[in-house]
Chains A and B, each alone.
Chain A
Amino acid sequence: DIQMTQSPSSLSASVGDRVTLTCRASQGIRNDLGWYQQKPGKAPKRLIYAASSLQSGVPSRFSGSGSGTEFTLTISSLQPEDFATYYCLQHNSYPWTFGQGTKVEIK
């Protein structure tokens, strides 16, 4: 199975900060990776597909990059509604696997 490792596990940041989340795959997955945002008590929401393509309706402050084994999700200017947990998901091979999540908290 491909292991997805996210870092950091959590971070504290202020509104307006630029934050970068990282996801590393245990083997190359091309760009077969998506990012999802989850708020407490809610289902995850799609943000990025194919590592760097922004989902329709997602604010442009979100961006993704990377290929192979290292990927990043950047929020250019953190907004109050962005405080949530973020997960990466690889769909290069079965079983699909999620990272353990990065929780973004208010400083």
Chain B
Amino acid sequence: QVQLVQSGAEVQKPGTSVKVSCKASGYTFTGYYMHWVRQAPGQGLEWMGWINPNSGGTNYAQKFQGRVTMTRDTSITTAYMDLSSLRSDDTAMYYCARVRLYSGTYYFDYWGQGTLITVSS
């Protein structure tokens, strides 16, 4: 069965970086794009970008350009999201989510359990 298992919660200081991992299993890792979505406490969902695990190509939301880096390690079927220059408003639950392309449309079909990143001095 498809599973996306994310790394554990972290507390980081402002100005530092954090790297969240998303271990995929139960499917061909390189066959599906992986997206990252975040959710601040009590707020809505915010799309951050995607990585193509096959090529390593990426597409980031303009809001995060220059601060976010998405990578992958195909040998261990894991995707990573690195966010730098952390601010207090980066405090959020971060999700990885697999996207399926089906009949010419897309949807998120599997999600990780989420990783809570708290930015606090």
Interface residues of A (CB under 8 A from B): 1, 31-32, 34, 36, 38, 43-46, 49-50, 53, 55, 87, 89, 91, 94-101
Contact = CB atoms under 8 A, between A and B. Distances in A.
Contacts of B109: 46
- How many of chain B's residues touch chain A, expressed as a range? 20 to 34
Interface of B: 35, 44-47, 49, 59, 61-63, 95, 97, 102-103, 105-109, 111-114
B75 to A, nearest CB: 26
Given A98-B45, A98-B47, A44 B107 contact: no
A100 B45 CA distance: 7
A34 B96 CA distance: 17
B105 A50 contact: yes
A44 B108 contact: yes
A98 B107 contact: no
17 contacts: A34-B106, A38-B45, A43-B114, A45-B111, A46-B108, A46-B109, A49-B105, A55-B107, A87-B45, A89-B47, A94-B59, A95-B47, A95-B49, A95-B62, A98-B46, A100-B44, A101-B44
A49 B108 CA distance: 9
Contacts of B107: 34, 46, 49, 55, 91
A50 B62 contact: no
Interface residue SS majority, chain A: loop
Which of A31, A46, A95, A99 is packed against the most chain B CB atoms within 10 Å? A95
A3 to B, nearest CB: 12
A38 B61 CA distance: 23
Contact of A44 (B45, B46, B61, B102): B45
Contacts of B46: 98
Contact of A43 (B47, B49, B102, B113): B113
A94 B60 CA distance: 9
A37 to B, nearest CB: 12
